[in-house]
Each structure stands twice: as C-alpha cells, then as structure tokens.
Structure 1
Amino acid sequence: MPYSDEQLLGKLNGLDETQESIVGASKWVLSYYRDADKIANCWKDFVLKSSTNTRRKLLSIYLANDVIQQAKHKRIGQFSDSFGKIMPQVMGKVYPELPQDLGKKVKRVVDIWKQRQVFSDSVLKDVLVRLKSRKPVEKSDFGRVPELKPINEILQRLVGCQAGISSTRTRFDSSVNAMDPSSVVYMENYKTVVKIGQAAKDALSKAIEQREMAIQEFKKLQDFQSEQLAQDLDMIQEIDSVLASKDPTSQTPADVGETLALPTYEASDSDDDSDSDHGGTKRSRDEEGDPEDSKKIKTVALGLEESEETEVEPSPAEVAANASVTVTSSIQDLLSKLAN
C-alpha cells in the first residue's frame, strides 16, 4: 500500500502515552523510508498547526524521536536527513508554546539527541540555540481557579477520550476497507469489524458523556458569572451615588434664599379673636419701619356688623375738633349764668 498523508495523520491522532503506541506507529513510519521527506513535512505541518494541542505535539515529538533513533540503529539515513531539515524550525516555534512541565520533557529529548548524535552537529547546534533563546511559558493557572477546576478536569478526560476515538476509528476504517465479500472468512471478518466498531462507539459514548458534563459545568459557570456581573454593576451605582452626594460642586449653601425671604406675619391675640369672630385678615408687621407704625390696632373687617365696641386710637385732626367743641360749650354755659 503506498504512503499517504492521511494515514500518517491518523497515526499521529491515535498516539497515546504508552510505549506500545509510540513503537507501533514508529514501525509503520519506518516502512515508508523512501517517503521520508513527505513524512517529515507532513509531521511538521501537523505539529505546527494551531489546532493541535500541546499534548498531541509532545506525543508527535516522541514519535519522531523513536523513528530517528530506530532509523540510525538500522542504518536508514533518510529520516535523520529529512527530519534534520525541519527540526530546528519546529522546535523554535513549538518549544516556547509549551507549559514548563512539557517543555522539560522536550528538553530531555533534545539532550538525548545530543548524547547519541542522532543529528549532525550543525542541526543539533541550531536546535539548542532555538531552545536557549526562547523559554517555555509558565504553567497556566486555568486549573487553579476554583470555578474552573471541574471544567479543567473534564477537558483533560476529553483529551484522553479523543485519542481512543481516533485510534479505534482508524482501525475500524482499515478493517472495513480490508473486507472481501467473496472471502470464505468474510463472516468471521465481519464479526471482528463489529467488535472494532463497538469499541469505537464505546469511546465515542465516553466522550459524549464528558461533553454533556462539560456543558453543564459551563452553564453553572455562566450563571455564577451573571450573578457576579449584577453585583459588580450594583456596586458601581452605589459608588456613583456616594460620589454624587459628596460632590462640592453640587452642594447648596445653607443660607441661600434667606435674604430674599418674605417678611414674617405676626398677629396679636385680638387679631386671632377678630379672625375667628368676624373673618378679619391679619396685618403684616414691618420690622424695619417707624416704631409708631408698629402699634397693634384693633379693627373689624369692612362690611360686617360690629359685635362689640372697638377702641380706635384718634387721629390728630379728631383731637383738635374735640377740643374746639369743648371750648364752645364752656362759653355758652358762662353766658347763660350771667343772664340769670
């Protein structure tokens, strides 16, 4: 069967942390030594692809390591040459993206290459320079946030499920393609394919369960964040309200308007009686006028009959008239006495 990039990608996606998985894929790659350049370039594109997660990139580097070392042991020089052309570029881009724990594992692989001289001196020197010039990123705090810890655990399980799905699906597709209806063992082959298909379905069922759990956790996280958002908005309003109440530019002076206030109206006791009995109106008191004008005067409202006699202070004209009447009356009395 001729080599194809699709087959290699299936192998890369189906890798797991076991030695058996790495060695099995390595044997398959070594069988296509005539296509070493194609394999190296397809491997490079897969590792550098942004959608490939860091764990999958590390496993791909493990595979390349096994292929290169096995090829050197078996004196197949094509792989050392083909991977040597692209390895400095790949390490220069992948290594800085890895968390520190994964970066240490990659650094250990490079140290083994240096010890066993799996690449030429120039390639090894270039790879080491790339690693020294760019350090791996600090480990993410994603799993340390309490609200994100359950989601992080589910996503880690999903990564493991994905590897099983890719592996079993590749086996299933290969088994189906190999079936020959004319074969005498077709029924037995079909039973085997059914078992492989069931294994793939089981792996998918586990992934579905984990994804449903992830969706529930994301909903909880969304509700929690919505509550926190409402509280934050309320706190902003409270802060704005406090600041507005303390703003000196919006304060009203205590004495504003007092100088423009109308004079206060005060009534005497007799005014109160007059108001209740006769419906009279209270007079105002001028605080800054002549003291004589400030005297209280008893009066009766116009148009109403007087219910009791009121005393009115006489004006100067009335005093003069009364005095004239008194003098005239006294002269008449004197003349009357002389006549008698």
Structure 2
Amino acid sequence: MVSESQLVKRFAELSTSQQSVETLSLFLMHHRRQSQTIVHIWAKELVSATSDRKIAFLYVANDVIQHDKRKGGEFVKDFLPMLASAVQHIVSQVDDENIHKTVKRIIQIWNERQIYQPDAIKLLKTSYENGVRLCLYIEFK
C-alpha cells in the first residue's frame, strides 16, 4: 500500500525525461488497486506544479492509461473524470505552442487507439480548445 506522502514525493521528483515518466508509471501501475487515490493526488499535484513540469503529468497519465488498457482498465476509468480539466489547465497555464501540440497529439492517440469513447474524446478536444482560448485571453490582458 502506497501512502499519500510517498505519492506526493514521487510526483515532486517527476521530470519530462522518458526515464522519469516510465519509472513513475511503473510504480503507479504496481499500485493500481489504489488508482482512485493515485489519480486524485495526480490532479492535485498537477495544479500545484510549475508550468514547465505540467506536461510531465500528462505524459505519466498517458503512459499509465495506455498500459492499463491491457491490464484491467482501473486507471483508464479513474483518470477520465479528471482529464478534461487537466487538459484545459495545462493548455491555459503553459504558453508554449509545442506543449499545446503535444497535448493535442495525446488526445489524438487516445482516439486512434480507442482508449476512450468518441463522446469522451469530443469533451477532451473541447477542453483543449477552451484552454487555448483562455491562454490567448490571459496573454492578451
């Protein structure tokens, strides 16, 4: 059983490197029986992360979701309610076209691999567009 403080520590050490993402992903998959708790802490830590680290949280979610689809789907199901707000948050808080393209590509991959139903993909795309508009609005002010 993994504690909240252990999870917070692991998320604090997360970087955008492939090794960091894969290491944390494997750790989370090992504790998948606690997927609801893990996803809740993931969302909380994403919001408090610095803008240059936010995309790493989506990388981890993507890695976990894609591996979990073949193992039972707990994370696929538990991440879904958090993803729309996470996508909008990342895109609106990180003014970087490359990050925006990466977020859009991850959503496209989930669609192509049928990780989520079309209605969920549509919601994620709408959240992405809303985040872009919010980012532009913040930049304009």
Q: Do Structure 1 and Structure 2 share a fold, with TM-score over 0.5?
A: yes
8 Å contact from structure 1 (residues 13, 56) kept in 2: no
Paired AA for residue 76 in structure 2: S
**Whole-Å separation in 2 of the counterparts to 1:127 and 1:23:** 24
Question: Structure 1 stretches (4+) deviating beyond 6 angstroms?
Answer: none
1:29-72 deviation digits (Å, cap 9, x = unpaired)? 001111111111111111123xx211211111101110000111
| Map of 1:289 onto structure 2 | none
Per-residue CA deviations over 1:169-193 (Å, capped at 9, x if unaligned) read xxxxxxxxxxxxxxxxxxxxxxxxx
Match of 2:113 among 109, 116, 127: 116
Q: CA deviation at 1:18?
A: 2.4
2:102 maps to which residue? 105
In the TM superposition, what whole-angstrom CA distance separates every residue of 1:68-92 from its partner, at most 9, and x where no partner exists? 001113x221100000111112212
Give, in whole Å, the separation in 2 of the partners of 1:42 and 1:6.
Answer: 10
Following the alignment from structure 2 to structure 1, what is the Cα–Cα distance between the partners of residues 35 and 119?
Answer: 20
Instruction: Give yes or no for contact 1:26–1:66 (8 Å, CA) kept in 2.
Output: yes
**2: CA distance, partners of 1:4 / 1:65:** 22
Q: Deviations over 1:241-284 (max 9, x none)?
A: xxxxxxxxxxxxxxxxxxxxxxxxxxxxxxxxxxxxxxxxxxxx
| 3-state secondary structure, aligned to 1:15 | coil
The yes-or-no answer on 1:96 pairing with 2:92 is yes
Two-structure CA RMSD over aligned residues (Å): 1.8
Q: RCO greater where, 1 or 2, for CA within 8 Å and sep 6 or more?
A: 2
SS at match of 2:122: helix
Distance verdict in 2 for CA 1:133–1:17, change over 3 Å:
closer
- For residues 77 and 115 of structure 1, the distance between their equivalents in structure 2, rounded to whole angstroms, comes to 17
| In structure 2, distance between residues paired with 1:11 and 1:56 | 13
What residue in structure 1 maps to residue 73 of structure 2? Answer: 77
Deviation at 1:3, TM superposition (A): 1.5
Output aligned runs, 1:1-340, within 5 Å. 2-49=1-48, 52-73=49-70, 75-99=71-95, 100-135=97-132, 137=135
Taking a change above 3 Å as real, the CA distance of residues 134 and 23 of structure 1, as seen in their structure-2 partners, is closer
Letter in 2 for 1:83: F
Residues 1:16 and 1:133: Cα distance change in structure 2 (over 3 Å):
closer
Q: Which has the higher helix share?
A: 2
CA contact (8 A) 2:87 2:131 kept: no
CA distance in 1, matches of 2:120, 2:44: 19
Deviations 1:183-204 (A, max 9, x none): xxxxxxxxxxxxxxxxxxxxxx
Q: Work out the CA distance in 1 between the residues paired with 2:33 and 2:130.
A: 35
TM-score by length of 2: 0.86
Q: Which secondary structure does the structure 2 equivalent of 1:76 belong to?
A: coil
Find the aligned partners of 2:16 and 2:44 in 1 and give their Cα distance. 21
Cα deviation for residue 13 of structure 1 reads 1.7
Structure-1-length-normalised TM-score:
0.38
Unmatched 5+ residue regions in structure 1?
Answer: 141-340
- Structure 1 vs Structure 2: percent identity of aligned residues? 24
**Matched positions, count:** 135
What is aligned with 1:228? none
Identify the residue that residue 265 of structure 1 maps to in structure 2. Answer: none
Distance 1:134 1:19 in 2: 25
